[in-house]
Amino acid sequence: MSAEAGQQHPLGIYYKIWILLFVLSSFSYAVDYFEVQGAMRWSLVILFMVLKAGFIVAIFMHVMWERMALVLTILGPPVVLLLLIGFMVIEGNYTSETRYEYRGHDRDAVALTPSDLHHEEEEAH
């Protein structure tokens, strides 16, 4: 565990985490493939993302074996970013709500897809 001796660990743990990352990525992709939508989609995608990120940082980047002085230096500062994200969510929701409310934008507008566009190529606007 001493950092002086370097981060030497049995190979087995890397193989296990490697496989786990593959499985978690497949799950993420499956969420899209099977068109899971709404709150379920958000929770699943974010759950798999957090697990993947956690395993990469903890095992591949060896953070779980580092001394607390370094661990806190790495994981401490990014916590303020959560605050930034929180503020921007509040601000963003307020802005969009104001725009819908006072500028008359359509809340239910649907984006076009490549297949819509390629089928309509002849009758171009």
The distance of closest approach from Cβ of residue 122 to other proteins in the complex, given in angstroms and rounded to an integer, is 15
The distance of closest approach from Cβ of residue 100 to other proteins in the complex, given in angstroms and rounded to an integer, is 6
Spatial separation of the C-alpha atoms in residues 32 and 27, rounded to whole Å: 9
- What does the radius of gyration of the chain's CA atoms come to, in whole angstroms? 22
Residue 64 and residue 58 in contact, taking contact as beta carbons nearer than 8 Å: yes
Map the footprint of other proteins across residues 35-64, applying CB under 8 A. Answer: 35, 41-42, 45-46, 48-49, 52-53, 56-57, 60-62
Residue 63 and residue 71 in contact, taking contact as beta carbons nearer than 8 Å: yes
The distance of closest approach from Cβ of residue 47 to other proteins in the complex, given in angstroms and rounded to an integer, is 10
Binding mask 78-97 for other proteins (x = CB under 8 A): x--x--xx--xx-xxx-xx-
